[in-house]
Amino acid sequence: MKNIAIFAKIHDPRCQDVAIELVQWLRAKGLTPLPEEHLAFRIGFGEPLPANILDQAELVVVLGGDGTLISVARMVGERGLPIFGVNLGSLGFLTEITLDEMFTALEKCLRRDYNISVRTMLSVKVERNGDLISENRVLNDVVINKGALARIIDLETTVNDYYLTTFRGDGLIVSTPTGSTGYSLSAGGPILHPELDSFVISPICPHTLTNRPMVVRGDAKIRVALKCINEDVCLTLDGQVGMKLECGDVIRAERSDLRTRLIVSNSRDYFEILRTKLKWGER
């Protein structure tokens, strides 16, 4: 590996300081650091960069938290680049490399001595009056929910063209295994091991209390049609990208052909991360 892309939570001064240190460390090893444009400006990088650093990168380093990594994962897309996530706060579900172990772990990565966790992504399409108006990929989840003053919304849901039910409530979450520890978990959904080939459909505050979260196969094609009229309803992707929905809109979610490849720590396993983040065993 020679060309290393660097992304960071640019508004956090700590991330900027670490990025400067990382650039110096990479240069000392004869490698080429490629900070993204906004980060390069903030740290005074001062060298010309390619129009798209990901076209030349062989490894992507993300400094920040899980939210920063999720946004980068959508950008990496079809390139399939391994992502090295460094959490500058507490241990993250995705950014599980700590700052203290960053350079030691990165040294191993440069020797290609690392473990990869391959994560399923969702392809999400929105159709209006039969026309495709939006198409995206998500690593965590797709959320359909009503505005603060909207009434209960009706979401007609099918799986592989089989009618499941019409959920009535505040909304619906379709989550990947990676996203199962996010909003879906708050809505009562199960925790899935992140490398499972499956998805979770979780209703948000359902009007019918017997509507419970449901796990479906990874090859399931999920269709949700918005049946309410004149209500304030939004679609949110990975908690970061959103759009307004209209009555009759159809949301289609299915497994993406693309995967996210995360470099994981050699010093801890997924269950240790769960215990730490969710504070299991503490009183």
pLDDT at 281: 83
From the list 66, 141, 238, 249, the catalytic residue is 66
| 270 vs 84: CA distance, rounded Å | 16
Residue pLDDT tens, the chain, 283 long: 899 999 999 888 999 999 999 999 999 999 999 999 999 999 999 889 999 999 999 999 999 999 999 999 999 988 999 999 999 876 688 988 989 999 999 999 988 888 999 999 999 999 999 999 999 999 999 999 998 777 899 999 999 999 999 999 999 999 999 999 999 999 999 999 999 999 999 999 999 989 999 999 999 999 999 998 777 999 999 999 999 999 999 999 999 999 999 998 888 889 998 998 888 988 7
Q: 210-218: long-range contacts (C-beta < 8 A, 24 or more apart)?
A: 211/165, 211/167, 211/169, 212/188, 213/184, 213/187, 213/188, 213/189, 214/164, 215/190, 216/159, 218/120, 218/255
What is the pLDDT, as a whole number, of residue 150? 77
Residue range(s) occupied by CATH 2.60.200.30 in the chain:
121-257
Q: How far apart are CA 10 and CA 64, in angstroms?
A: 9
How confident is the model at residue 266, as a pLDDT?
80
Span 3-114+266-278 CATH architecture: 3-Layer(aba) Sandwich (3.40)
Q: 21 to each of 128, 144, 240, how far by Cα in Å?
A: 48, 41, 29
Reported as type and span, the H/E element at residue 241 is strand 241-245
Q: pLDDT tens-digit profile of 131-151?
A: 999 999 999 999 999 987 778
Q: Supply the pLDDT for residue 277.
A: 87
pLDDT number for residue 46: 87
- Write down the CATH number for the domain with range 121-257: 2.60.200.30
Residues 6+ apart with CB under 8 A from 204: 143, 145, 169, 170, 171, 172, 173, 187
For residue 249, indicate whether it is catalytic: no
Integer angstrom CA distances of residue 195 from 73, 176, 199, 214, 280: 16, 10, 11, 18, 21
Q: Which residues in the chain are classed under CATH 3.40.50.10330? A: 3-114+266-278
Tell which phi-psi region holds residue 205, choosing left (phi > 0), alpha (psi between -120 and 50) or beta: left
